[in-house]
């Protein structure tokens, strides 16, 4: 029989948790849970895409829907200009704009140390030495920068035992990070005031005033007072619940 896991977390505890701690508090109950670093990586890459978290972790030890329902208890709230909003989505767009730069310097403009001379062996191939002396030797090297920042390539040309010139060819990415946060206003209590007019028959009318309170949970409570055609006073109370219709 498949073992059932308890995904419930106390509401009082949720308010004190960051999102990653909240996810981990649920995952810690799962048999064969991924390593800590894997969990943090998943949360980092998919902080507000819960189905992707379930997909990444797999459903071997838990049911995706229960996990989603448990995660959705958590709400990240931020304050802007003193007003609180719920964060419903975050997007991070990174743009790389390559910037190229090419510089050439002649050998005489590049600093070099004083030559150090050594004794020449007696048994040397003079023709080979002269051939290598007059040859133009080209050396190339590339420095790749970290974090996809680009590279710097260096090309040196050497002949007659001197540096003829050096070329720097740089391509560095200018990185622009665009953070987008999608918000929605937190539900709040709302108060309404208004009147009512009723008719049982043309000779029997009622008129009154009503005060309604709509709560954060979309429930409505109201009280009212009025009179009828015979000037009798009446009082009334109202309780309404929201009906969710499936699309």
Q: What is the CATH number of the domain that holds 210?
A: 3.30.1300.30
Residues making up the chain, counted from first to last: 247
- Tokens matching residue 113: 């140390």
Domain end marker among 74, 103, 122 = 74
CB neighbour list of residue 145: distance below 8 Å, 6 or more residues apart: 151, 152, 172
What is the rounded average pLDDT for all residues in the chain? 76
Q: Please tell me the distance from the alpha carbon of residue 183 to that of residue 83, in angstroms, as a whole number.
A: 12
Three-state DSSP state, 216: coil
pLDDT at 138: 95
194 pLDDT tier (thresholds 50, 70, 90): very high
Instruction: Please check whether residue 246 lies inside any domain of the structure.
Output: no
Q: Are residues 113 and 141 in the same domain?
A: yes
Do residues 31 and 61 make contact, with C-beta atoms less than 8 angstroms apart? yes
More confident residue, 208 or 74: 208
pLDDT at 220: 94
pLDDT tens for residues 114-147?
888 888 787 888 888 888 889 999 999 999 998 8
Q: Are residues 15 and 61 in the same domain?
A: yes
- Is the pLDDT assigned to residue 24 strictly greater than 80? no
Question: What Cα–Cα distance (Å) separates residue 32 from each residue in 4, 25, 59, 131, 170?
Answer: 14, 14, 11, 69, 48
Q: Please tell me the distance from the alpha carbon of residue 86 to that of residue 119, in angstroms, as a whole number.
A: 80
Q: Is 56 exposed, middle or buried (0-12, 13-18, 19+ CB in 10 A)?
A: middle
Highest mean pLDDT: which of 44-48, 58-62, 220-224? 220-224
CB neighbour list of residue 123: distance below 8 Å, 6 or more residues apart: none
Neighbouring-strand partners of residue 150: 145, 172
Question: Strands 204-214 and 190-201: what pairing?
Answer: antiparallel
CB burial string 135-157: b at 16+ within 10 A, e below: eeeeeeeeeeeeeeebebeeebb
Mean pLDDT of 161-181: 91
Question: What Cα–Cα distance (Å) separates residue 100 from each residue in 46, 75, 169?
Answer: 34, 45, 8
Mean pLDDT of 182-197: 89
Can you give the residue range of the structural domain that contains 221? 187-241
Nearest to 48 by CA among 91, 109, 95, 89: 89
Of 164-173, 202-211, 218-227, which gets the smallest average pLDDT? 202-211
pLDDT at 37: 45
No. of H helices and E strands in the chain? 6, 9
Q: Are residues 100 and 168 in the same domain?
A: yes
pLDDT at 62: 42
Q: Please tell me the distance from the alpha carbon of residue 3 to that of residue 55, in angstroms, as a whole number.
A: 20
Three-state DSSP state, 78: strand
pLDDT at 73: 53
pLDDT at 30: 46
Q: Please give the tally of structural domains in the chain.
A: 3
Q: Are residues 204 and 170 in the same domain?
A: no
Tokens 């005031």 belong to which residue? 193
- Is the pLDDT assigned to residue 211 strictly greater than 60? yes
Q: Are residues 164 and 231 in the same domain?
A: no
What is the maximum span of the chain, computed from C-alpha positions, in angstroms? 137
pLDDT tens for residues 60-119?
434 445 555 555 555 677 888 888 888 888 888 888 889 999 999 998 898 888 888 888
- Is the pLDDT assigned to residue 28 strictly greater than 70? no
Percent of the chain with pLDDT over 90: 30
Q: Are residues 129 and 167 in the same domain?
A: yes
pLDDT at 69: 53
Do residues 221 and 215 make contact, with C-beta atoms less than 8 angstroms apart? yes
pLDDT at 1: 43
Q: Are residues 208 and 224 in the same domain?
A: yes
Instruction: Please check whether residue 116 lies inside any domain of the structure.
Output: yes
């Amino acid at each position: 029989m498949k073992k059932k896991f308890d995904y419930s977390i106390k509401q009082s505890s949720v308010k004190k948790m960051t999102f990653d701690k909240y996810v981990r508090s649920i995952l810690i109950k799962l048999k064969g849970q991924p390593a800590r670093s894997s969990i943090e990586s998943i949360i980092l890459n998919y902080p507000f895409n819960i189905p992707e978290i379930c997909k990444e972790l797999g459903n071997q030890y838990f049911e995706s829907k229960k996990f989603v329902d448990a995660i959705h208890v958590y709400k990240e709230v931020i304050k802007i200009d003193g007003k609180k909003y719920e964060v419903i989505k975050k997007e991070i767009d990174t743009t790389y704009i390559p910037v190229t730069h090419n510089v050439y310097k002649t050998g005489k403009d590049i600093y070099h140390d004083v030559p150090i001379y050594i004794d020449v062996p007696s048994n040397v191939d003079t023709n080979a030495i002269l051939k290598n002396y007059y040859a133009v030797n080209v050396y190339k090297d590339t420095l790749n920068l970290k974090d996809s920042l680009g590279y710097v390539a260096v090309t040196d040309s050497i002949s007659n035992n001197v540096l003829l010139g050096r070329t720097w060819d740089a391509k560095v990415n200018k990185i622009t990070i665009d953070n987008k946060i999608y918000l929605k206003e937190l539900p709040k209590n709302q108060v309404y005031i208004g009147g009512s007019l009723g008719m049982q028959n043309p000779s029997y009318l009622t008129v009154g005033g009503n005060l309604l309170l709509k709560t954060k949970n979309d429930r409505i409570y109201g009280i009212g007072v009025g009179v009828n055609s015979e000037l009798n006073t009446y009082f009334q109370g109202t309780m309404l619940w929201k009906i969710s219709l499936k699309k």
